[in-house]
Structures are given as C-alpha cells and as structure tokens.
Amino acid sequence: MSNSKAATPNGAASISADTYKTSAWKDFMALIKIGIVNSNLITTFTGLWLALHFTGQSFLENLDLVLFTVAGSSLIIAGSCVINNYVDRDIDHLMERTKSRPTVTGKVAAVKVLGLGILFIGLGTLSLLFTSVTATVIGLLGVFSYVFLYTLWSKRQLVSNTIIGSISGAVPPLIGWAAVDPNLDIMAWALFILMFAWQPPHFYALAMRRVEEYRAAGIPMLPVVKGFKTTKLHILFWVALLLPLPFFFVKLGIPFLILATLLNLGWLVLGIFGYKIKDDIKWAKLMFVYSLQYLTIIFVAMVLVTLI
C-alpha cells in the first residue's frame, strides 16, 4: 500500500470497492492521463506537419524526426501528468472523475508514481534532443509550467490557475514546429495563441459542471470563487478572442479561413443564445462538447487542406 491519502479515513473509506477492480493497463492510462496525452499529440503533430509543409520537406523522408518528436512530446506530457497525479493524491478522492486513480486507491506506491513521472520526462527530453535544441527547451518549459507554475503553485491558490495552466497546454504545437524549424514562423506562434485561448472556455465549462467537486477539494476554480454568471462572461470573452486568429493562417487558404471563422462564430453564438437556457449546467455541457469538437475539427482541417 502506498503513502497516498487513500489510506486515510477520508480517502479509502470513501472509495467504493469497484474502484479496485480496474486492470493494470487502465490504471496506467489513468496515471498518464491518456486523454490529455492524445489531445496534445494531435496539436504537436499538426505543428510538425505544417512546419514540414511550409519548409518544403517530405514527411516520409523525415520519419525519424517525426517519431522522435511524437515520442518525446508524448513522454514529457505523460510524465508531467503522472507527477500531477502524485501531487494531487490528497484531494483526488474528493472528485468523482478522479477518485478511481491508482494514486487514490493505493494500487501504486506514491514513490513509484513520482519515479515514473521523472523517468518519462527524462526519456522524453532525450528523444526531443534528437530533433532540435529549441524543441527540447520548449518541451522543458512546458513541463516547468505544468508541474511547477500550475500543479505546485497556482492550482490550489489562485483563481487564475486555469489561465496559468493554459501555458503548458499551448506548448505542444510549438514543440512540433520547432522540431522541424527552430526559427518558429509566425504561424507557429498563432498555433500557440490558438491553444492558449481555447483552454479557458473549455476548462471553465468543465469546472461549472464539476463545481461542487472542486469546491469540496478546495480548488479555487472560477465558478467556485466568482459564481456561474461571472464564469459565463469569462467564457464568452475567451471565445471572442479566437475570432481574429484565422487571419494568421491565410497561408492555409480561403476554405480553411472560412471554416475556422465559422467555428469561432458558432461557438460564440452558442454561448450567447445559450443564455436563454435556464439550466447553467446544461449550458456548460453544450459549451464543453462544442470545445472538444472545435479542437478536433480545426486541427485536422489544418492537415487536410495541405493535402488538397
């Protein structure tokens, strides 16, 4: 049994016996937060793909670069998530979506979790060194911002924790681009800004849906501290900031410009007309689901338009 808080009366006693029936593989996937790894992998690959496209390089002739970039970014992201689980093992039992993590149930010793996180970050850094120094430095900055600025500092102390945490989430496309072109074209920075601005409305909507869990865990998320009315205004503000970004991607062509603009307007319109919905949680769910579809469509479209 580990040293995690799952061994305390407020931990293990509140966890159902069903949580111990998870497989080792499922526990591992929860430990590395596979959903976060996969979503960031999409943005990393897009940054790499676009850099190859606009520098006139062949994808097939750079498969080694692609593999090192994908492996390196995935490992440092997974490692950072593992350390986040290690740090949050004292509060994760208070939240429905995190109470089954192996760091809570005690199925994995805390010291092993920390060691795994450090190992993954080390291996990921080594992999990125086979791409470019710039990509490696950006990757490590992402690790620092997620582990130290977000997890260890702002998450439990500042209502602006979501914005601070958005820095690390915006780094992956920069890693992908820098692996190919360390000079970082303006489009690479536009990808960074796009990801940075996308995260607050996405996570604020999630926080509205999970507000009682965050309140119980003592995490000062915006809906907990300021309430739903203020949170909804902040969500609309960040969505509105996305409106001019498509014009930084004019090299991708008019069809993409139109698609991205329509996606931005659709999100904003959904948010505004959603005010007619009396149920704030239902509104938050609609905004959350749209944010997921938005991210997938816009990044897949960036790749597809370069193939036409």
| Domains in the chain: boundaries | 1-184, 186-308
* pLDDT for the residue numbered 16: 45
* Token reading at 172: 């992956």
* pLDDT for the residue numbered 21: 65
* pLDDT for the residue numbered 6: 37
E-assigned strand segments in 205-298: none
- Specify the amino acid at residue 148: F
Rounded-to-integer distance, Cα 29 and Cα 37, Å: 10
Q: How large is the angle between the packed helices 110-128 and 63-87, nearest 10 degrees? A: 160
Reference 66, options 163, 147, 159, 135; nearest CA is 135
* pLDDT for the residue numbered 96: 85
Contact 191, 174 (CB under 8 A): yes
Reference 219, options 167, 158, 261, 279; nearest CA is 158
Q: Please state, in angstroms and as integers, the Cα–Cα distance from residue 233 to each residue in 136, 154, 230, following that order.
A: 37, 22, 5
Backbone angles phi, psi at 24, to 5 degrees: -60, -40
Mean pLDDT per 10-residue segment, the chain (308 residues):
37 44 85 94 98 97 98 98 95 86 90 97 98 98 98 97 97 98 96 98 97 95 97 97 97 97 97 88 96 97 95
b/e per residue 275-293 (b: at least 16 CB within 10 A):
eeeeebeebbbebbebbee
Rounded-to-integer distance, Cα 159 and Cα 222, Å: 6
Contact 153, 94 (CB under 8 A): no
Rounded-to-integer distance, Cα 199 and Cα 221, Å: 14
Reference 55, options 175, 138, 179; nearest CA is 179
Task: State which CATH number among 3.40.30.10, 1.10.357.140, 1.20.1440.120, 3.90.1150.10 fits the domain covering 1-184.
Answer: 1.10.357.140
Question: Residue 41: is it exposed, middle or buried by C-beta count within 10 angstroms (0-12/13-18/19+)?
Answer: middle
Cα torsion angle, 111, 72, 34, 215, sign: positive
- Specify the amino acid at residue 50: L
* pLDDT for the residue numbered 19: 45
CA atoms within 13 A on the CB side of 259: 18
